[in-house]
Amino acid sequence: MDVEALLLSVRLATVVCIALLIVGLPIAYWIAFSTWRWKFLVEAVVALPLVLPPTVLGFYVLVAIGARSPIGQAWTSWFGEGLAFSFEGLVLASILYSLPFAVQPFAAAFAQVDRSLLEASAVLGASRLRTAWRILLPLSINGIITGVVLSFAHTIGEFGVVVMVGGNLPGVTRTVSIAIYDDVQALEYGRANATALALVVFSVCVLAAVYALNRRVWQVQPRP
């Protein structure tokens, strides 16, 4: 079993989930509440990773963060090392790749919250931020959990983007799906099986825990 790869994947997925909460919630808020007429264009761009092959996405991310790109150069001048083929580069690519899996459930949950509750909050003097924190997020918690779980699972399972952007550096960008692929290529079926099985068990545990939590959360929802 490739423990290093397994831990790396979990670390990557955790970082990506946290980043998606920070990035995805505001985007979802905007999608759910904006009345801008061209909003659908933004929605389309956010949904793009759903239809694009991961290699295409990975290719453009690689070009965008490569040593010759402005982003890559700026990163190198700040941190002294390249963004491509690094853990940070992988995080960036994974955020883009998993964005729709977080934003869509978030936005759907926001859209389902009774508008009159948000209005009541504003009338009572609450700022938008306070309304979001005290009313919108608690009442959207199911959708937020769903989005986080989907993003986590999606990041753990990604392959194409990692191959393109991260390469195969043990402990840095060699995630579990790459490790399993390598083991199979090397005909080390036993090792591949052990890693894969660990991943399956881990995934089942995480999902079961989340759904168990989710069930309890349901009880604070308004009764019909």
- Interface residue list for another protein (CB under 8 A): 114, 116-117, 119-127, 130, 134-135, 138-139, 220-223
Residue 221 Cβ vs another protein, minimum distance, rounded to whole Å: 7
Residue 119 Cβ vs another protein, minimum distance, rounded to whole Å: 5
Structure tokens at 176: 């579990």
Task: Give 52 or 122: the residue with its C-beta nearer to another protein.
Answer: 122
- Three-class SS state of 38: coil
CB contact burial 63-85 (16+ within 10 A = b; e otherwise): ebbbeeeebbeebeeeeeebbbb
Residue 144 Cβ vs another protein, minimum distance, rounded to whole Å: 14
Residue 72 Cβ vs another protein, minimum distance, rounded to whole Å: 43
Q: Which phi and psi (to 5°) does residue 26 adopt? A: -65, -40
Task: Give 140 or 155: the residue with its C-beta nearer to another protein.
Answer: 140
DSSP state at residue 223: P
Q: Which residue type occupies 173?
A: T
Residue 93 Cβ vs another protein, minimum distance, rounded to whole Å: 36
Q: Are 27 and 33 in contact (CB under 8 A)?
A: no
Let me know if 219 is exposed, middle or buried by CB neighbors in 10 A (0-12, 13-18, 19+).
exposed
Task: Give 14 or 112: the residue with its C-beta nearer to another protein.
Answer: 112
Task: Give 71 or 122: the residue with its C-beta nearer to another protein.
Answer: 122
- Three-class SS state of 224: coil
Residue 113 Cβ vs another protein, minimum distance, rounded to whole Å: 10
Give the span between the Cα atoms of 160 and 10, in whole angstroms. 17
Q: Which residue type occupies 13?
A: A
Task: Give 80 or 222: the residue with its C-beta nearer to another protein.
Answer: 222
Pure H helices in 52-114: 54-65, 70-79, 87-112
Task: Give 29 or 75: the residue with its C-beta nearer to another protein.
Answer: 29
